[in-house]
Amino acid sequence: MKLLLTSCGNANKSIEKALLELLGKPFKKANLTFVPTAANVNEGDKSWLLNDMNNFKKLGFASFDIIDISSVPRHIWLKSFKKADVFVFGGGDTYYLSKWIKKSGLLEILPKLLKTRVYVGISAGSMVTAKNISLATVGILYYEKYGKLKNKSGLGLVDFELRPHLNSNWFPKIRLPYLKKLAEKVPYSFYAIDDDTAIKVVGNKISIISEGEWKKFN
């Protein structure tokens, strides 16, 4: 299983290089499917979503598909996922994305698909890969208000949690002093990464790809 977990997607050359290494072939010979579902419930301007898409589009993939798993039936999104070499799960509301990955049936087949494909997460798309989604802290840190989850389990692809957007002006609580206090109250490990950092996962091996700042807690 190969994952590249980021705050802002293809933000710099180091992250681009890491993706190329995970892919194992030129971008022009690979297909990408972008999943914008997490952004559905975000209000206001969404130019950031377009920027995230464009940062991958400019890499020159052979095909670039966009699939909202909450709005199309299984036979449509499954065809796109089977064709893809890379899945990019975009940012937005972590709770909402988790709900639709489960409700759509994608969770059931994702582990099998990822035996031969690369998972890229952007913000919520990265956070949802954990075994659990810490409801209280995620909501407080990222202003997520999408209802209440009956099941706080994530995808279970990694055994740590992620706190993206370290030092971002958009999320004033994502600062090391505040996160240090938070870490003292929780039993699990989590990484805080800024918008120029990614976590590369290959099997059980974890590598940090960074042109910025990051820190592991617990």
Q: How far apart are CA 28 and CA 63, in angstroms?
A: 8
- pLDDT of 53 reads 98
Written as six digits, the tokens of 158 are 């990694």
Which of 214, 176, 209 shows the shortest CA–CA distance to 194? 214
pTM for the predicted model, two decimal places:
0.94
Written as six digits, the tokens of 102 are 């489960």
- pLDDT of 132 reads 84
| DSSP 3-state of 99 | helix
- pLDDT of 119 reads 98
- pLDDT of 147 reads 53
Instruction: Kindly give the confidence (pLDDT) of every residue in the chain, 218 residues in length, as a single tens digit, with 9 standing for 90 and above.
Output: 999 999 999 999 999 999 999 999 999 999 999 999 999 998 899 999 999 999 999 999 999 999 999 999 999 999 999 999 999 999 999 989 999 999 999 999 999 999 999 999 999 999 999 998 875 567 667 766 655 555 577 899 999 999 999 999 999 989 999 999 988 988 889 999 999 999 999 999 999 999 999 999 99
Q: How far apart are CA 179 and CA 204, in angstroms?
A: 25
CATH architecture designation of domain 2-217: 3-Layer(aba) Sandwich (3.40)
SS3 content of the chain, % helix, strand, coil (to 5): 35, 25, 40
- pLDDT of 187 reads 85
- pLDDT of 151 reads 52
